[in-house]
Amino acid sequence: MGDTSGVVLAFYMSNSDVFPHNHDEIDFELLGHEKRRQWVLQTNIYGNGSVKTGREEKFYLWFDPTQEFHQYSMLWNTHHIVFLVDNIPIREVIYNQVSSSVYPSKPMSLYTTIWDGSQWATHGGKYPVNYKYAPFVASLGELKAEGCLMSKTNSTSPSSCLKSSTLLTSDPVEGDEYIKLTSQQTAGLKWARSKHMFYSYCKDTSRYKVLPPECRA
């Protein structure tokens, strides 16, 4: 395995190619953090903003992600955004009046990347990527995606699904079962955040002299 500090593996949705100055983004990022903690999981959201307005949260994983495949899921609809690991919710962002202006709302594409994130993934570059251990390789298992396929002519409208005999005419993740977490999921969310989350932008007063409005709600 070698030393993977500074290496970032990202699985995310984004529309920065279409909206470079007010893009939306929903991220899962595995950060090669440091030797003591080989990998950290970061979640992040941009809504109508730039890279200066990210809303990061970081978690120490309860497993080694290099030993076997695990399931990383993102649910995004008009009710909430939920990040799940092995079907355990670790973060929920609820759509409401406070969050509406920064809530991802435009159609996005799906990406995965591996790159050198030394400057911000490891305490400001304290543990940069050591290319003696290159190449760095990521293996991904199965991918399952459900959602609404958008027409390019309606690329700015989140409610315009392509109509086809082979495609749903409404978003399949807007059903009743996707509106809110179950009691079991809520318990899992509390466990993950109390036991494994070690950073939240809502508690970063050195970065935000005035906390974002959703942190004060």
Q: Cα 61–3–112 angle (5° rounding)?
A: 60
Residues 6+ apart with CB under 8 A from 177: none
* 89, 181 Cβ separation under 8 angstroms: yes
Active site residue 29: yes
Catalytic residue selected from 29, 34, 57, 214: 29
Count CB-CB contacts under 10 A for residue 191.
Answer: 14
Q: Is the dihedral of CA 17, 23, 25, 30 positive or negative?
A: positive
Q: Which residues of 33-53 are buried (b: 16+ CB within 10 A; e: fewer)?
A: bbeeebbbbbbbbbbbbeeee
Catalytic residue selected from 25, 34, 57, 214: 25
Active site residue 174: no
- Residues acting as catalytic residues: 25, 29
